[in-house]
Amino acid sequence: MSQHWKQLALVGLISGGVSVGALELLHQTNQNVILKEAPLASLAKLTSAGSPAGVPGDFTYAADVSMPAVVHITSTIKTRGESAQQLQIPEAFREFFGDRAPNSQQGPQKQQASGSGVIISPDGYIVTNNHVVEGAEELEVVLNNKHTYKAKVIGTDPSTDLAVIQIPAKNLQALTFGNSDAAKIGEWVVAVGNPFNLESTVTTGIISAKGRGLGIIGQKQQNEFSGPARKGDSPLESFIQTDAVVNPGNSGGALVNLKGELVGINTAIASPTGSYAGYSFAVPSNLVKKVAGDLIKYGNVQRGYLGIMLDELDSKKADEYGVKETEGVYVKSFSPNSAAKDAGLKPGDVIVKVDGNNVNTVPQLQELIGRKQPGESAKLTISRDGSVKDVAVTLRNRDGGNQLLKPDAAEVVLNDLGVQLNDLSPREKTVLKENGIEGGAKVGNIEAGKLSRAGVQEGFIITKLNGKAIHSVQEFKNAIEGKKGTRVQIEGIYSDEPTDSFTFGFNV
């Protein structure tokens, strides 16, 4: 992440000192939900419905329509396990927390954090940010009419920082999905949420940019296919940037146009202090609709891939690559089983459009492709050696196949835990064996998740799960499968102190 964007924060991550995470994932296979969608041409180039261009509009209609559909979410988590290990704070957020984690005294501590959500169907489905519900043991939802419900998590997608939860209620007022592609820079928008626990707060601003990729969801990669470090979908960022005032607690709230149509889910702010400092960022509604629909129907996101390594162009890069185009996305190389390569794309091609939409950045292309499922077709307009042509590409899943992917129960748990596990090297096995330990699974990259909040640090070697010896990553996956919704206990060591054993307990 560049230093310039190090002062970005997920909205609400800083609100209570701790952000919160996932409850039980309920995969509702093949269940459809009816989402209200506005006509494609509904977003007029006006400051408000019926107002002439250039005249500030009346925001009361948008507020009246959207406020009943925006909810207040309170998440409760245990911030520590049975160990006194210190909480791990992501590097990007240390300037807001300081080096010492809150509530770092020994023993489990319950904390609450709050965020927002948007009702997307009358039968209780609510979309919010993944970082609002991540790691939560309990979720409470308060409607605009003050009715309170306990919520369950239907599914989460860390790659877009989106999640879907549900409350046991019917006949709710749901927001209509607008067409975020049609939203224009300079257009008035309204942000609705619950900053600083101030319920049902409305602020206004304009769209100041689109297609922003900030590198705050995981590690930013200039590619379109899943990175090798961790199995799963690579981060997908193509934010709508606004100057509507958004603060901690607005996470998961609505960004609507002046017709009261949802055009984005508020997710992040640019800030040196943790509070609003001029810009906020929202996941565009067309992507939200795709992700939420997939989570409800399949339990995971069915994301299509081209399988290409990309780079953005400017005059300097154009000279470097020897192409005339300074706009578009440059094709550098291909992944194994690349759909784009098999369709006829070549290194050196410049992708200038996807399905007729101009693309100038990697996030723009990722969003347009990420809305599609494996097996669907995308029309790429490419420039090659001075000529422009259209190429139809049948998209594939992250594994290189055309079929939809079923949720992998063990991978879901690992994503929830926020870790990558690796098998031990021969040398590590030898060291452990000298201390009477036959094997284990080593914690590699660690992100915000249940293990980091329990105090587990990178390099920790899991040797037991619920008292059963663990010798490899696969054994851990086999042991954790079927444990969703229960409390588990892991034991392990650090290789530099193999005689000291640590125990952590948490819900999965």
In a domain, 402, yes or no: no
141 and 19 both lie in a single domain: yes
* Spatial distance between the Cα atoms of 211 and 361, rounded to a whole number of angstroms: 7
Same domain, 279 and 325: no
At position 205, the amino acid (one-letter code) is: G
Convert the pLDDT of each residue in 375-409 to its tens digit: 999 999 999 998 999 999 999 998 888 888 877 66
| 296 & 313 share domain | no
What are the binding residues for substrate?
Answer: 131, 161, 249-251
Measured in degrees and rounded to the nearest 5, phi and psi for residue 413 equal -65, -45
Return the number of other C-beta atoms located less than 10 Å from residue 142's C-beta.
17
87 and 236, same domain (yes or no): yes
How many other β-carbons are positioned within 10 Å of the β-carbon of residue 438?
11
Q: CA separation (Å) from 331 to 85, 196, 366?
A: 45, 44, 13
Predicted confidence (pLDDT) at residue 70 exceeds the cutoff of 60: yes
Same domain, 202 and 268: yes
Q: Which amino acid is at 429?
A: K
What CATH number is attached to the domain comprising 234? 2.40.10.120
Q: Please indicate, yes or no, whether residues 282 and 157 belong to a single structural domain of this protein.
A: yes
Q: Three-state SS across 56-117?
A: CCCCHHHHHHHHHHEEEEEEEEECCCCCCCCCCCCHHHHHHHCCCCCCCCCCCCEEEEEEEE
- Both tokens of 1, joined, read 């992440």
State the CB neighbour count (10 A cutoff) for residue 424.
20
Same domain, 461 and 378: no
Active-site residue set: 131, 161, 251
Answer whether residue 181 is part of any domain: yes
Q: Is the pLDDT of residue 106 over 60?
A: no
Rounded Cα distance, 309 and 317, in Å: 15
Q: Kindly report the CATH number assigned to the domain that includes residue 331.
A: 2.30.42.10
Among 361, 394, 427, the domain boundary falls at 394
> Helix/strand/coil (H, E, C) string of 8-35?
EEECCCCCCCCCCCCCCECCCCCCCCCC
Sequence-distant (6+) residues with CB within 8 A of 463 are: 432, 437, 439, 440, 469, 470, 491, 492, 493, 501
The Cα–Cα gap between 504 and 419 comes to 15
* Mean pLDDT of the residues in the chain: 80
Same domain, 214 and 241: yes
**Separation between Cα atoms, residue 307 and residue 371, nearest integer Å:** 15
Q: What is the pTM of this model?
A: 0.74
Same domain, yes or no: 90 and 155: yes
Total domains in the chain come to 3
Show which of 394, 417, 434 is a domain's final residue: 394
Q: What is the pLDDT of residues 132-172, one digit of tens each?
A: 988 788 899 999 999 999 999 999 888 899 999 999 999 99
Whether residues 139 and 235 share a domain: the answer is: yes
Residue 12: pLDDT above 50?
Answer: no
Asked, for residue 246, whether it belongs to a domain, the answer is: yes
pLDDT digits (tens, 9 = 90+) for 209-257: 998 887 777 543 444 443 333 345 677 888 999 999 998 889 999 999 9
Residue 404 included in any domain: no
The reply to whether 127 falls in a domain is yes
- Cβ contacts of 93-100, under 8 Å, gap ≥ 24: 93/9, 93/13, 93/14, 95/6, 95/7, 95/272, 96/9, 96/14, 96/273, 96/274, 97/14, 97/17
Do 413 and 373 belong together in one domain? Answer: no
Do 385 and 433 reside in the same domain of the chain? no
Give the confidence band of 290 by pLDDT, cuts at 50, 70, 90: very high
Q: Is residue 63 part of a domain?
A: yes
Do 268 and 280 meet the contact criterion of CB atoms below 8 Å apart?
A: yes
What was the pLDDT predicted at 304?
93
Look at 14-23, 170-179, 313-322, 329-338 and tell me which has the smallest mean pLDDT: 14-23
Give the confidence band of 39 by pLDDT, cuts at 50, 70, 90: low
Domain final position from 370, 394, 418: 394
Q: How distant, in Å, are the alpha carbons of 76, 130, 151, 152 from that of 156? A: 17, 6, 14, 11
- Domain membership flag for residue 268: yes
Is 401 a member of any domain? no
- Two tokens at 184? 């224009």
Structural domain range at position 265: 1-300
| DSSP code string of 244-283 | S---TT-TT-EEE-TTSEEEEEEEEEE-SSSS--SEEEEE
- Phi then psi for 262, rounded to 5 degrees? -70, 120
